[in-house]
Structure 1
Amino acid sequence: MRIVYMGTPDFAVGPLKALCEAGYEIVSVVTQPDRPKGRSGKLVFSPVKEYAVSRDIEVFQPEKIRTADSVEYLKGLDADIFVVAAFGQILSKEVLDIPRYGCVNIHASLLPLYRGASPIQQALLDGREQTGVTLMQMDVGMDTGDILMQKTIDILNTDTAGTLFDKLMELGSDMIVEAMPLIEEGKLSATPQDESLASKVGKLTKEMGRIDWTLDAAYIDRQIRTMDPWPSAYCTYKGKTIKIWKARPIENTEQESAYGNIPGTVINVSKSSFVVACGDGLLEVAELQPESKKRMSAGDFIRGNHLAVGERME
């Protein structure tokens, strides 16, 4: 089949690579325009464009995929199917109707749960035991199309958004290669989503990483893992920002404190970690990153800052 592939971030590279390695013809890759990055403002390729260029695949980068010029370009490719993964733009009905087999989206959640921009992170933050990937026949809604294939993976209590991202990218890559011949042969049945179970998620923001120590330790642990690698979970210590990278919740009974376990209070300091009181439970911090410094172990931070019991994390 002649495939037009639409995607932008790292997550979309895996399925594109899998399709190429499986021998499918990618007639064009559609991705977001080059964007400025860093203080220099230098324009950089999206990860999907980098891979496409390395394979000498034609690249199309419209500011808006809905324009007449974009539609005309897509029609001219004579594609059998559009495969979409985290492209970043909404496809109009006119675009959806172009390919013979329609448009198939690779979405990193068990739809109808977590429609939208940050399904991987939200499943982790909510404490779900499982998540997965859905292959969906796209319609004009936001992740509302019929389900073609769905597979699950377990969420471990050590998983971060980064590790889940990699697992789901690999799963989505395997699924799209498995699905392509079934789509061509008409062997995948489309199942409507149950709207009563639907939920939506927006984009992550830096503000979502701010730790509120009055919340329970289990939630803060999930927040830290959800914000890894971006935007990171953080608090302040003596007026300076500290990013928390690794921690674990422990029961109040494991540590006794003379400070009443007031949320944000350091109630125990050892050679390799320190414990902070939360609204419910305690959080043992093992790895962090002080403002303008590299990531370090909690032990190194303790020695360098003379952290003491009774001090506060805000």
Structure 2
Amino acid sequence: MKIVYMGTPDFSVPPLEKMIEAGHEIVAVVTQPDKPKGRSNQPVPSPVKECALKHGLKIMQPKKIREAEVVEELKALNADIFVVAAFGQILSQEVLDIPRFGCVNIHASLLPRYRGAAPIQMCILNGDKTTGVTIMQMNAGMDTGDILITKEIPIEDDDTAGTLFDKLMYLGADLIVEALPRIENSELTPIPQNDAEATKCGKISKDMGQINWNDSAEKISFLVRGMNPWPSAYTRLNGKMLKIWTAKVLKKNADGTPGSIATVNKDTFTVNTGNGQLEILELQLEGKKRMYVKDFLLGYTLNVGDILE
């Protein structure tokens, strides 16, 4: 099929690569404008733009995709379908109506759960056991269109937002390549979403990573995994930020104030929570590199009863 592909971050690159590999004609790639980055503040292309440049594809970078001249340029491409994955702009109904097969979105959740910007983090934060990818027929709502095809995978006990991101990124690439010929041959029956089962998730913000030690050890462990790699779960130790990268729930009752150090040994330490204890395995003190607790304790003294805030 002739495809206009819309995407911006790393998540959007494997689907583009897979569609090219499958022999589809990518008539244009639409991505966000280059953004200043780093100390130099020089404009940097998106990962999708870099991929498109590598393959010599036509690139469009509109500030607003709904502007009249952009809409006319999209119409002139005469594409069969628009495929969208984490593009970063809302498509107007006028844009949605351009291709004959409409616009489809690669969404990293099992819709109607987790409509919105951060489905990967939210399923871990909520302690879900499974997640997946949905290929959805887009409409004017936020992830409210009919479901075309889904694929479910388990969330492993050691999955973080980062590891799950990678799994769903490649799953989405495989699923869109599976879906496209079936869309062309009318082999997929659109299934309306059940709005009564819908949940929404906004963007992740840095303050969401702050640990509340009054929460249960299990809930805090979900936070640690869901905020990894960004913005990280964090607390404070003697006035300095302490990021917690890896932790394990212990089947042990708390025996002190939430946030207090319960035990310290040469490899790990445990913290009392509102319900149970959390064993800390990997961390990063402000101004230091990320390290295992056994290495941290070689140069830092922790005592039972010290408080994390």
TM-score interval w.r.t. the shorter chain? over 0.9
CA drift of 1:42 comes to 1.6
Instruction: Find the counterpart in structure 2 of residue 81 from structure 1.
Output: 81
1:132-185 Cα shifts (integer Å, max 9, x gaps): 100000000000000000110001110000111111111111111111111111
CA distance in 2 between partners of 1:225 and 1:50 (Å): 30
1:60-99 Cα shifts (integer Å, max 9, x gaps): 1111111101101111111110000011110000000000
The code of the aligned residue for 2:83 comes to: V
Instruction: Find the counterpart in structure 1 of residue 122 from structure 2.
Output: 122
CA distance in 2 between partners of 1:73 and 1:51 (Å): 21
Normalised TM-score (structure 2): 0.98
The code of the aligned residue for 1:281 comes to: G
Q: What secondary structure is seen at the aligned counterpart in 2 of 1:234?
A: strand
Instruction: Find the counterpart in structure 2 of residue 207 from structure 1.
Output: 207
CA drift of 1:40 comes to 2.2
The code of the aligned residue for 1:194 comes to: N
Equivalent of 1:308 in 297, 303, 306: 303
CA drift of 1:38 comes to 2.1
Determine if the alignment matches structure 1 residue 98 to structure 2 residue 107: no
Determine if the alignment matches structure 1 residue 279 to structure 2 residue 274: yes
1:150-229 matches, within 5 Å, as: 150-229=150-229
The code of the aligned residue for 1:77 comes to: L
Q: What secondary structure is seen at the aligned counterpart in 2 of 1:252?
A: coil
Instruction: Find the counterpart in structure 2 of residue 266 from structure 1.
Output: 261
Instruction: Find the counterpart in structure 1 of residue 68 from structure 2.
Output: 68
CA drift of 1:43 comes to 1.1
CA distance in 2 between partners of 1:45 and 1:27 (Å): 19
CA distance in 1 between partners of 2:299 and 2:22 (Å): 52
Aligned length: 309
The runs of at least 4 aligned residues of structure 1 exceeding 2 Å deviation read none
Q: What secondary structure is seen at the aligned counterpart in 2 of 1:220?
A: helix
Instruction: Find the counterpart in structure 2 of residue 251 from structure 1.
Output: 251
Q: Structure 1 vs Structure 2: percent identity of aligned residues?
A: 59
CA distance in 2 between partners of 1:276 and 1:8 (Å): 40
1:9-58 Cα shifts (integer Å, max 9, x gaps): 11111111110111111111101111111232121111111111111111
CA distance in 1 between partners of 2:183 and 2:104 (Å): 10
Equivalent of 1:295 in 251, 267, 290: 290
CA distance in 2 between partners of 1:45 and 1:248 (Å): 39
Q: What secondary structure is seen at the aligned counterpart in 2 of 1:16?
A: helix
- Which runs of 5 or more residues in structure 1 are unaligned? none
CA distance in 1 between partners of 2:289 and 2:83 (Å): 39
The code of the aligned residue for 1:244 comes to: I
CA distance in 2 between partners of 1:16 and 1:246 (Å): 33
CA distance in 2 between partners of 1:234 and 1:55 (Å): 41
Instruction: Find the counterpart in structure 2 of residue 18 from structure 1.
Output: 18
CA distance in 2 between partners of 1:242 and 1:26 (Å): 46
The code of the aligned residue for 1:294 comes to: K
CA drift of 1:304 comes to 0.9
CA drift of 1:105 comes to 0.3
- Which runs of 5 or more residues in structure 2 are unaligned? none
CA distance in 1 between partners of 2:285 and 2:40 (Å): 25
Instruction: Find the counterpart in structure 2 of residue 136 from structure 1.
Output: 136
